[in-house]
Structure 1
Amino acid sequence: MDGFLAALAISFGVIFVAELGDKSQLMAMTFATRFKPLPVLIGITVATAVVHAVSVGIGYGLGAALPTGWIALVAGLAFLAFGAWTLRGDSLSDEEKGKAERTNRSAIVAVSVAFFLAELGDKTMLATITLATQHGWLGTWVGSTIGMVAADALAILLGRFLGKRLPEKAIKYGAAALFAIFGVVLLIDAVSQLT
């Protein structure tokens, strides 16, 4: 159980931070202006659970097939790349914003489909794959799913009730710094395993 809780806590923290200022968080805010918060949150949860289950499966399979030193090296480099990606930032295209605003289908189905498609190949999916190579699959899946849903719930609440923007620069720099720290720690671990 100790490994499960560690995987859950690490995955929650990493994915929560990765989601701050991400494109899907902006989508959550947009959907929350059109639909009630609960159906939006349910749709996000369904899509996230499915995408992260696939991510964990890929990561766990890679973790079982590759030596841990090389996994730590690749994971460290990936987290440094995630930090750079976070600094670059995300935004919704006009087409993506239009889909979020115009959809006439059920809110849960619309949000689920939009989030599923938006998360394919996104940094949170890649981060979940990376985490699953290092930690237990169940804790990583639960933690990453809860972390993303919590970050998107925060976006919904802030967007809906406060009507103010998140302080983008502070969030962007803080998230990038945390990714860099995780990356450096993993690289140090990789070097110690490979030497």
Structure 2
Amino acid sequence: MSLSVIQGFTKSLAMTILSEIGDKTFFAAAILAMRHPRRLVLAGCLGALVVMTIFSAVVGWAAPNLISRKWTHHITTFLFLGFGLWSLWDAFTEGEAEDIAEVEAKLDADFQTNGKSTKDKSKTDDLKKQNRPFLTQFFSPILLKAFSITFFGEFGDKSQLATIGLAADENPLGVVLGGILGQALCTTAAVLGGKSLASQISERVVGLSGGILFIVFGIQSFLSTVEL
């Protein structure tokens, strides 16, 4: 394995773990796992994160082909420094339990809505099976729900943009491998540990660590030479 792949792998792994622990999708996976079969929640959440990681890395890999390598390098440096300051600001200003309370409230409202609709339509189950969406005929609705919540929760998130920037400046293969491993570790911990694990994680410490890591990446990118 080449040095560039290893470098991209280690950077992506560290960035992903510190970005995803305590993230809203982490809390969503933990709460969903308490109410649905863990294997389906894990498959849905992890599947969405793998797709998002590969998609982001492809976008980052293609960026230097659309604009000059010099500009992508400068943009990546700016992103890392900006995300570092953003993470540090969030760590000092946001409440510890704000994200998990917000996610739990949204999921509770969704569960209540689904529960009422199930009771109201219990007499038409056969008709619903015939007319249900195409994907639910092949995949569990719980798996699809976990996938959609995680995918759209990550879309446009700080970690996705950071992955794009990292893939534009590092070996895309290493970025994908490190990102997938990091996502697998975080999602498995969320699903197995449940809400108790999520509630014990200090968002401030994670935010500070992630902010420092982003700033270190930014400084390293600023000091490194651009490979044309």
> What TM-score comes out, normalization by structure 2 length?
0.73
109-118 or 67-76, which moves further after superposition?
67-76
Pair 1:138 & 2:138 matched: no
Which of 1 and 2 has higher RCO (CA within 8 Å, sep 6+)? 2
Pair 1:62 & 2:63 matched: yes
Q: Give 2:24's aligned residue.
A: 23
Pair 1:188 & 2:226 matched: no
Q: Give 2:54's aligned residue.
A: 53
8 Å Cα contact 2:30-2:198 kept in structure 1: no
Q: Counterparts of 1:111-150 in structure 2 under 5 Å? A: 111-150=146-185
* Inter-partner Cα distance in structure 2 for 1:146 and 1:45: 10
Return 5+ residue gaps in structure 2 as ranges.
Answer: 116-139
Q: In structure 1, the residue corresponding to 2:200 is in which secondary structure?
A: coil
Q: Which stretches of structure 1, 4 residues or longer, exceed 6 Å deviation after superposition?
A: none
* Inter-partner Cα distance in structure 1 for 2:24 and 2:197: 20
8 Å Cα contact 2:11-2:178 kept in structure 1: yes
Shift of 1:108: 1.3
| CA distance 1:81–1:139, change in 2 (3 Å) | same
Shift of 1:80: 1.7
Return 5+ residue gaps in structure 1 as ranges.
Answer: none
Letter of the 2:22 counterpart: G
List per-residue Cα deviations over 1:118-168 (Å, max 9, x = no partner). Answer: 111011111111111012222222221221221222233333565742122
Q: In structure 2, the residue corresponding to 1:185 is in which secondary structure?
A: helix
Letter of the 2:107 counterpart: K
* Inter-partner Cα distance in structure 2 for 1:29 and 1:56: 26
| CA distance 1:169–1:101, change in 2 (3 Å) | farther
* Inter-partner Cα distance in structure 2 for 1:163 and 1:51: 22
Instruction: Indicate the structure (1 or 2) with the bigger Cα radius of gyration.
Output: 2
Shift of 1:97: 2.9
* Inter-partner Cα distance in structure 1 for 2:183 and 2:205: 19
Superposed CA RMSD in Å reads: 2.6
Pair 1:156 & 2:191 matched: yes
List per-residue Cα deviations over 1:167-188 (Å, max 9, x = no partner). Answer: 2221111111111111121122
Q: Give 1:175's aligned residue.
A: 210
166-175 or 90-99, which moves further after superposition?
90-99
| CA distance 1:193–1:29, change in 2 (3 Å) | same
| CA distance 1:5–1:184, change in 2 (3 Å) | closer
Q: Alignment length, in residue pairs?
A: 192
Percent of pairs identical after alignment? 24
* Inter-partner Cα distance in structure 2 for 1:131 and 1:182: 9
